[in-house]
Every structure is written in C-alpha cells, then in structure tokens.
Amino acid sequence: MNSRRDFLKTTATGALVLGAQSKLGLAAMLDKKAEAAKSKVVVARDAALHGSDGALDEKRVQALLDRALASYTGHDKPVEAWKLIVPVGKVIGIKVNGLGGKGISTHATLVMAVCERLQQAGVKPGEIIVWDRNARDIQACGLTISTDPSRVRVFGNDLAGYEEQGVAFGSVANVKLAKILTRECAMVINLPILKDHEMAGVTFSMKNMYGVVEKPNELHAGGCNPAVADLNCIPAIREKVRFTIGDAMSSVYNGGPGFHPEHLWQPNALIVGEDRVAVDHTAWQMIERKRAEVGMPTLETAKRPPRYIATAADQAHNLGVNDPQRIHLMEV
C-alpha cells in the first residue's frame, strides 16, 4: 500500500516538474516569437573607427559593416548575409546624402564598402547606381561622377532628370520623382547621414527621401510633418527603398542639416534595419542622448521634435513602428 502511495506521489511530482519545464519551454518559445514579431534594428559601434588624424579607417569600416549585417541576418559570412538582402540580376540603387557638404555627408568609405560586398554577392558593377540630388552633393560625399555602364555608376538627378507626371499622397501633392528611382532601380539601399535638423528635428532614413523629389523645399511646412511620412508612402518609395544602412559614424547634434563643426560628434556607429520608422526612432534617441550629455534641451523643448516619426507609424501610414516595446534593438 505504501509502495503504491509512494509511486503515485513520485508520479505526481514528476508530472509537476514536467509541467513546469513544459511551461518554461513554452514561455521561451513565445518569447522568441514575440522577439521575431518586433522590428529589428542593429546599432553597430567601433570606437576606433577614426584615426588620430580624424580620418576613417577603411578596414574598420568594412569590418563594422560586416558585423552589422551579420547581426541583422544571423549569417557570419558577409557575402551570404548580403545575398539575403539584395536580388541578383537587378539594379540596386544606393541613395546617399551630401546636402550638408564635405563635413557632414555620407562617407565615401562606407559607400565603397557596400559596393564591394554587393559585387561579391553577385551584383554586377553596372547594376549598382550610387546617387543623390546633384553632382555637388555627390562630390560632397567624396565620390566621383561616372556613367560607365561597365562600372559602378555614380550620378545625380540633375543628370538623369525627373518624371514629367507628378504623384501624390496625403499632403504631398504633384511631386515629380527622380527617374533613377522610378526607371532604373529595382531596389534601393538607403545610406543617410545622421543629423539634427533645424525644422524636422532629425534627418535620417525617411527624410533622406527628400532627395528623390524635384522640389523638396516645398515639403518643409509644419516641421516636415506629415510630409515626410506622406512622401514615404508613395508606392515607388515605399516599395523600392527596402533597407537602411545609416551612417552614424559622424553626426551633428545641433544646427543641422548643414555642417557646424562646433556641434560635430562621432558616434562611430552604423544603424541598420528594414523598418525605416524604427531606424529613425533609434537615431532620434541617439541624438537626444548626445544633446542631454552636452547640456542642451530636448528637441521637444527646442520646439522641433520629429513628429513625422509617430505619423509614419500611425494607421494611416503604417510604415513601421516607433514603440520601443515593438523594436528589437541589438547593440553590437
């Protein structure tokens, strides 16, 4: 009788243990699913990116890019990571930003590192177009104009032109898009430079699309809200601009979008992701932390918060998420 009682007790205890383990396993599985449902953003840093002369170390930039992509894709082999991101046999556009001049533009070192990996992943040189608004902005990035179809092409909207027919979404009416975007590229990799902005608060991934329209000066009312969100909802931009490799190796935390050396700092980082809203939210918080560090007021207090980020996340736009609880931030 006692042996039967002991057996039942042992069996019951075992069931409780198994039940507890099962629940723990289920909880872990649910946690993984919840994490997978979040928008992933990778912030990769290397404090030694800049040498004693202030110049970027090319090898370290390449290594930082590889680490960012490896963390994002889960593949430690750089070429395999890129194959998960870009199609082969299609024209890939790389949208840079040289508006701020030589002191604060997308770094040529990063552009070249991206182009190198794209080619290793099977994209032909002539299927890569590096572009911005005009020759001046491209040269500010340290790049040289080239239209040779056998090499990586580098040129601006001033050369390729804009569509004659305008498009619209919400507050953005009759904007003419760059032909490089509409006619040449199957996919665009966004390479913005992280900057404070005197009207929009922050300019990074979504704001970089102002370089895709003929008259961006017409889209600055209300701190660029809702214009930034509306512009990014235009199908050619929403569907083709699919990945951001944000240049936060250097930045200005006040006085942007132009170059102000007194407000220059070096986050020594890349911000990578597919969700343009989550990327911009992450970049915004980086600038806010720097402003707090140097004793400057928040962008809200300065009367120029980047409200377009929340607008881009709302139901009418649905471009991504700005809720930190829904962003899987990986700092590597």
What mean pLDDT do residues 245-271 have?
A: 96
Q: What is the model's pLDDT at position 8?
A: 45
- In sequence order, the β-bridge partners of residue 44 are 270
Is pLDDT at 15 greater than 80 in this prediction? no
What mean pLDDT do residues 307-332 have?
A: 97
Buried b (16+ CB within 10 A) or exposed e, 264-275: ebebbbbbbbeb
What mean pLDDT do residues 132-157 have?
A: 97
**Position 6 confidence tier, pLDDT thresholds 50, 70, 90:** low
- Report the first-to-last Cα separation within the chain, whole angstroms: 61
Q: What is the model's pLDDT at position 321?
A: 98
What mean pLDDT do residues 104-122 have?
A: 97
Is pLDDT at 305 greater than 60 in this prediction? yes
In percent, the amount of the chain with pLDDT more than 90 equals: 87
Q: What is the model's pLDDT at position 323?
A: 97
- What are the tens digits of pLDDT across the range 33-80? 556 689 999 999 999 999 888 899 999 999 999 999 999 999 999 999
Of the candidates 225, 234, 173, 175, the one whose C-alpha atom is nearest the C-alpha of residue 199 is 225
Q: What is the model's pLDDT at position 21?
A: 57
The whole-model pTM stands at: 0.89
What mean pLDDT do residues 113-125 have?
A: 97
* Mean of pLDDT over the chain: 92
Distance CA 222, CA 331 (A): 33
Q: What is the model's pLDDT at position 52?
A: 83
Distance CA 261, CA 115 (A): 29
- What are the tens digits of pLDDT across the range 99-109? 999 999 999 99
Q: What is the model's pLDDT at position 51?
A: 87
3 vs 305: which has the higher pLDDT: 305
- What are the tens digits of pLDDT across the range 171-192? 999 999 999 999 999 999 999 9
Long-range contacts of range 167-173, CB-CB < 8 Å, 24 or more positions apart? Answer: 167/234, 167/236, 168/234, 169/230, 169/231, 169/233, 169/234, 170/226, 170/229, 170/230, 170/233, 170/316, 171/226, 171/227, 171/230, 172/219, 172/227, 172/230, 172/231, 172/234
What mean pLDDT do residues 11-22 have?
A: 52
Is pLDDT at 236 greater than 50 in this prediction? yes
Buried b (16+ CB within 10 A) or exposed e, 157-195: beebebbeeebebeebeebbbbbbbbebbebbbbbbbbb
Strands 201-203 and 264-265: unpaired
- What are the tens digits of pLDDT across the range 78-93? 999 999 999 999 999 9
Is pLDDT at 10 greater than 50 in this prediction? no
**Position 7 confidence tier, pLDDT thresholds 50, 70, 90:** very low
Q: What is the model's pLDDT at position 24?
A: 65
